Amino acid sequence: MDASGSSTPLRVVVAGGGVAGLETVIALRALAGPRVEITLVTPGPDFVYRPLSVGEPFGVALAVTYPLERIAEDFQVELIQEELASVDPEARSARLAGGSELGYDALVCALGARSYPPWDHVPAFRGSADAERMAELVAEIERGDVASVAFVVPRGVTWPLPVYELALMTARRARQAGADVEIAVFTPEADPLAVFGREASSAVANALEDAGVQVARGVTVDVTADNDLVVPSEDSPLRFERVVSAPLLAGPDVQGLPSDSRGFLPVDGHGRVSGVEDVFAAGDGTDFSVKQGGVAAQQAVAVAETIAHRSGAPVEPRPVKLVLRAQRLTGEGSRFLQAESQETRERLSRA
């Protein structure tokens, strides 16, 4: 029985088969049980855990995949392998790319973000798809064919952690091979991974220094077609033989739903999309500035609690209070980072 007194299960459509979507499904089934009828809409057949892909070029780790059919079966979910095309909030209907429509009582957009390279001529590491190209660069360094590499965090919406991981593992591999190579990181952050706070940021900075990686903080660079880095504080461009960038991110820009200037869905602390009834969002596609799987999972739980409460489950919805957690790969084991999100504190103080 839902909050209105109906014994009919609440129809919940979850669009997106990544961390946010699956965490929503799992939490909702645990909290609401048979009170909800869940349909998962996603184009791919597998869930891919992408953070570990940064280790693939070095043989340290591999991205892990799980078949979505098995997950859907385990949690009694209808799986539809299609893309969400648009939403009609007034009709409470989600249109799929194939033309069919799904009615919903609650819609969860967990569509993730779209990634793109900041410069067309600079490779941006986006995961497994770019692992082979990064592995080729590592092999060139080991052979002594490359003497300098710059890793760049671009200004804009991005997730900088993989840049530092790549720099650290590249430096380790170069040291093992006895290769003399200059490795530098350029970032607009005041300190490496400053979003995690002073203690974690200092640990990352120390690791980079110990590895011999130079770090240029608080700088926004441009990269010419010749891989020259134009740095505002420098009189002339800096030359590097190779440049690797983090990708920039844009939101899903769902037709029929509000979005900010970059296509991200505006949400409150419960994951409700601003100005739209019965539509929620979680994960990288929301307007939270930190784009990371742990954040997506915590947002998804807040969404699930709100929907479960509406279904009649004995759950008191709580606004998300994000704690940033991440595993940092170094090539010599891993380190764990944790910090409470300053953005969350600021949002909750305004609520």
Q: State the Cα–Cα distance between residues 283 and 170, nearest whole angstrom.
A: 30
349 within some domain: no
333 within some domain: no
Q: Are 154 and 220 members of one domain?
A: yes
pLDDT score for 296: 93
Q: State the Cα–Cα distance between residues 29 and 305, nearest whole angstrom.
A: 10
Which residues, in sequence order, are CB contacts of 166 under 8 Å at separation 6+?
54, 57, 125, 134, 151, 244
pLDDT score for 348: 39
Helix, strand or coil, per DSSP, at residue 242: strand
**Contact, 68 vs 59, CB < 8 A?**
no
| Domain range enclosing 175 | 117-247
**Contact, 206 vs 212, CB < 8 A?**
no
334 within some domain: no
Q: Are 192 and 231 members of one domain?
A: yes
CATH number at residue 31: 3.50.50.60
Per residue in 276-311, pLDDT (tens digit) is 999 999 999 999 988 888 889 999 999 999 999 999
Q: What's the whole-number mean pLDDT along residues 248-273? A: 96
348 within some domain: no
pLDDT score for 53: 80
Answer whether residue 106 shows pLDDT above 80.
yes
SS3 helix, strand, coil % of the chain, rounded to 5? 30, 25, 40
193 within some domain: yes
Q: What's the whole-number mean pLDDT along residues 91-114? A: 97
Q: Are 256 and 308 members of one domain?
A: yes
pLDDT score for 256: 98
Based on the structure, what is the number of domains in the chain?
Answer: 2
Per residue in 128-182, pLDDT (tens digit) is 889 999 999 999 999 999 999 999 999 999 999 899 999 999 999 999 999 999 9
93 within some domain: yes
pLDDT score for 351: 37
Q: What CA–CA distances, in Å, run from 211 to 46, 173, 205, 208?
A: 36, 10, 10, 5
Among candidate residues 212, 247, 282, the one where a domain is terminated: 247
Characterize the bridge pairing of strands 148-152 and 182-186: parallel
Residue written as tokens 């990064």?
A: 134
Q: State the Cα–Cα distance between residues 215 and 205, nearest whole angstrom.
A: 8
